Amino acid sequence: MAFDLAQLLSQRRGENFELHAKYVNPQLANVLRTLGFDRFYERGEGCYLYDDEGREYLDLLSGFGVFALGRSHPVIKSALHQALDADLANMVQMDCALLPGLLAEQLVARSHAGIERVFFCNSGAEAVEASIKFARAATRRSRIIYFTHAYHGLTMGALSLNGSSEFKAGFGPLMPGTVEIGFGDLEALRRELLAGDVAALIVEPIQGKGVFELPAETWRNIEDELRRVGALLICDEVQTGLGRTGALFAYEHYGLTPDIVTVSKALSGGYVAVGAMLTSDRIYRSVYRSMQKALVHSTTFKGNQLAMVAGLATLQVFDDDDVVAHSARMGELWHLRLGELKEKHEFLHDVRGRGQMIGIEFAAPTSRAALRRWRLVESAREAMFSQTLVVPLFHEFGILTQVAADGLNVIKLLPPLIAGEREMDSFVTALDELLTRAETSSEWLRSFALTMTKGFVGRSKKKRDVAAR
């Protein structure tokens, strides 16, 4: 029988949460059902998702940054159709294929002058794993420093560089030779470098968890300290890279010249998993130092031709549509529009980020009545206030957003880089309305509680239905 995707999707339509609860991740299914986020999305296009009831959702998460060019971009789609139709000789392994060479050439050409080589892999975490090995090999030192709140992925090495304890608990012992220091803490960095055993400092130029930034001068001091002792700077651009912050790489904002750069998400064109680690010839040769060592670091799917085509087509759209400049322009506009809301709403405390990577922080208001409501919400759970916005943003306004991290009252926006003023208007209008409600009455809290209760009851009912089968 021929495989028929359309038939499969139509026959099993709507079973998605049940299947996940049974076979994939029951707790995630529980969380999403409780929030009432259990939908059957049928289609995605540009900045929007469409569910089986035909409802439209503005996607301000873009798959955690994967859909830089939006969903179902026609150029990437056509490139992948072309690749499939060409019956490419994929992953011959005993071969040096053309397309990985071409994509590497493009990435090197777009990086700072010290970047000369590219290692391809399948994900952000894998690119980070590569960076740990290359930094250790190149310096013959073992220790890697990372910042509090850092997020570099969840594989064992990357997890060992995670600056939030909740991700690490229960998975030890982690990789030895790692040190956490405060974000931008120069004194701590100097102290750790004194021992002479630090291979590298790994950083996100703008931290994803909370959208935190450092002044350019601090970055320059950090780079100087590292250079002074021969330690490497790894810029993890898995999220910030490829235009997200209004520059091709976020390190450009601060004039940094990292020794190693990791990229992933956006390079996929939203279709094919890919990761890449960019570095210098010198660092590359410390790993691949002889013919015997030609595959000493490798992975089966490196240079997967479909991923390479998606990457090449993505970069071409970046050029043709001037995507990075658009992202920078939108960043300025986001700050302007959200800055106006900040003036108006006492719950809105800060607007951070650059380009289309935006953090909106909420904090205790000053007026008595609003403060009472804030305390009520926050007494239920730390950093609950932002959740009371994320839920109605989705249900009432059809806007998908997320809280930036556990314990932080920050909503993080990662719109597709192609998002424009229409999308911004939708979000700003919705947030304005919700904050006005939160400041003027407790009604918003009652409707939040009602949504959660409905989600909880729905979840319990679905559990009983499944058990009864």
Ligand X SMILES: Cc1ncc(COP(=O)(O)O)c(C=O)c1O
Q: Is 439 in the site for ligand X (CB under 6 A)?
A: no
Q: Return the SS3 of 248.
A: coil
Q: Is 151 in the site for ligand X (CB under 6 A)?
A: yes
The Cβ of residue 25 has, within 10 Å, a number of other Cβ atoms equal to 11
* CB of 229 vs ligand X, minimal distance in Å: 25
Q: What binding mask, one character per residue, do residues 109-148 give for ligand X by CB under 6 A, x or -?
A: --------------xxx--x--------------------
Determine whether 22 is exposed, middle or buried from the number of CB atoms within 10 Å of its CB (0-12, 13-18, 19+): exposed
Q: Which is nearer to ligand X, 151 or 288 (CB)?
A: 151
Q: Which residue is it, tokens 């930094």?
A: 135
User: Residues 279 to 298: which contact ligand X by CB under 6 A?
Assistant: none
Identify the CA nearest to 203 among candidates 192, 213, 191: 213
Q: What binding mask, one character per residue, do residues 217-236 give for ligand X by CB under 6 A, x or -?
A: -------------------x
Distance of CA 345 to the CA centre of its chain: 28
User: In this structure, what DSSP letter does residue 329 have?
Assistant: H
Q: Are the beta carbons of 40 and 51 closer than 8 angstroms?
A: yes
Q: Which is nearer to ligand X, 34 or 62 (CB)?
A: 62
Residues contacting ligand X: total by CB under 6 A: 14
Identify the CA nearest to 415 among candidates 461, 358, 455: 358
Choose the stretch contacting ligand X; rule: CB under 6 A; options: 41-49, 110-118, 151-159, 415-423. 151-159
Q: Is 204 in the site for ligand X (CB under 6 A)?
A: yes
Q: Are the beta carbons of 404 and 410 closer than 8 angstroms?
A: yes
Q: Which is nearer to ligand X, 106 or 122 (CB)?
A: 122
Residue from the set 264, 280, 286, 409 that interacts with ligand X by CB under 6 A: 264
* CB of 292 vs ligand X, minimal distance in Å: 30
Q: Which is nearer to ligand X, 204 or 346 (CB)?
A: 204
The whole-angstrom separation of Cα 300 and Cα 198 is: 30
Q: What binding mask, one character per residue, do residues 233-262 give for ligand X by CB under 6 A, x or -?
A: ---x-xx-----------------------
Q: Are the beta carbons of 70 and 43 closer than 8 angstroms?
A: no
Cis peptide before 74 (omega within 30 of 0): no
Q: Which is nearer to ligand X, 36 or 269 (CB)?
A: 269
Q: What binding mask, one character per residue, do residues 50-69 give for ligand X by CB under 6 A, x or -?
A: --------------x-----
The whole-angstrom separation of Cα 356 and Cα 84 is: 32
Q: Return the SS3 of 305.
A: helix
Q: Which is nearer to ligand X, 121 or 391 (CB)?
A: 121
Residue from the set 157, 208, 392, 455 that interacts with ligand X by CB under 6 A: 208
The Cβ of residue 459 has, within 10 Å, a number of other Cβ atoms equal to 21
Q: What binding mask, one character per residue, do residues 5-24 give for ligand X by CB under 6 A, x or -?
A: --------------------
Q: Pairing state of beta strands 56-59 and 260-263? A: unpaired
The Cβ of residue 32 has, within 10 Å, a number of other Cβ atoms equal to 17
By beta carbon distance, the residue nearest ligand X is 124
Residues at the contact surface with ligand X, assessed by CB under 6 A: 64, 123-125, 128, 151-153, 204, 208, 236, 238-239, 264
